[in-house]
Amino acid sequence: MKRTLLSSLLLVPLFTVGQDYPKLAIQHLTDNFYVYTTYGDSGGGQMFPSNSMYLVTDEGVVLFDTPWDRSQLLPLIDSIRVRHGKPVIMAIATHFHDDSTAGLEKLKQMGMKTFSSRMTYELCEKENNDKAEFFFWNDTTFHVGGYAIEAYYPGKGHTKDNIVLWVDAHKVLYGGCLIKSTENTSLGFIGDANLEEWPATMQRLLDKYPVRHYVVPGHFGWESNQGVEHTLKLLQEHK
């Protein structure tokens, strides 16, 4: 069954049915990195923000995950082209939930390369979610337009397949739903989580990337770069 899973909830919805909310918001992070946010219905008309990111390179634009609201995929691509004068050339999905993968098959139809880990690819097939055209077996570094984007699997956590994306030159860590915003007071949706292994996974992130200038979680604010530490704290409190 196709799943639409909220990965990180606060105790109350950000928007409810009947309220106005932005369909697509794009904010500059640093250098050529931008965070874009769309909104998904977690059930009962409660709308929550979902963060993804993109990187503008000399060769074109790389998406880190896709919009949760798939109706915003084409507006996002158009906005990028108008704002930066460059096309989207590829996308990397960080886990199988559709706040990471929705629209991957549309991107493929449009001639853009899409990637995920083999584990994510298989889970997408199982859940009938959009899946990437290409997959990689092990940790992989993508070299695009002068940037090195490291896809790293630290272990099981929010899902058993969750990876992070790291750009060392700018100390940018895109954590997706594995990392919780410092605004979060709970772990949110844990239906596909491995709570026993998640703390060790976060510790591996701390050890591998001890200096992080920017940390972008899957949902809610990213002003703080302490998302990894905060997630570990939430896990300890939950336990």
For every residue of 170-219, DSSP letters joined together read GTEEEEETTS--TT-SS----TT--TTTHHHHHHHHHHH----SEEEESS
CA distances from 52 to 68, 194, 199, 236 (A): 9, 23, 23, 26
Q: Please give the pLDDT value at position 184.
A: 95
Domain ranges in the chain are: 24-238
Backbone angles phi, psi at 165, to 5 degrees: -120, 130
The single-letter DSSP state of residue 72 is G
Q: Please give the pLDDT value at position 48.
A: 86
**CA pair distance 162, 119, nearest whole angstrom:** 9
Beta-carbon neighbour count of residue 86 at 10 Å? 16
Q: Please give the pLDDT value at position 17.
A: 43
pLDDT digits (tens, 9 = 90+) for 168-190: 999 999 999 999 999 999 998 89
pLDDT digits (tens, 9 = 90+) for 39-84: 987 666 778 899 999 999 999 999 999 999 999 999 999 999 999 9
Q: Please give the pLDDT value at position 21.
A: 64
Q: Please give the pLDDT value at position 19.
A: 54
Strands 61-64 and 47-56: antiparallel
Q: Please give the pLDDT value at position 239.
A: 78
Q: How far apart are the first and last CA of the chain?
A: 30
Q: Please give the pLDDT value at position 15.
A: 43
Class of 24-238 in CATH:
alpha beta
Residue segments in the chain with a per-residue pLDDT below the cut of 50:
1-18
H helices within the chain, ranges in order? 73-84, 98-101, 104-109, 118-127, 198-208, 227-238
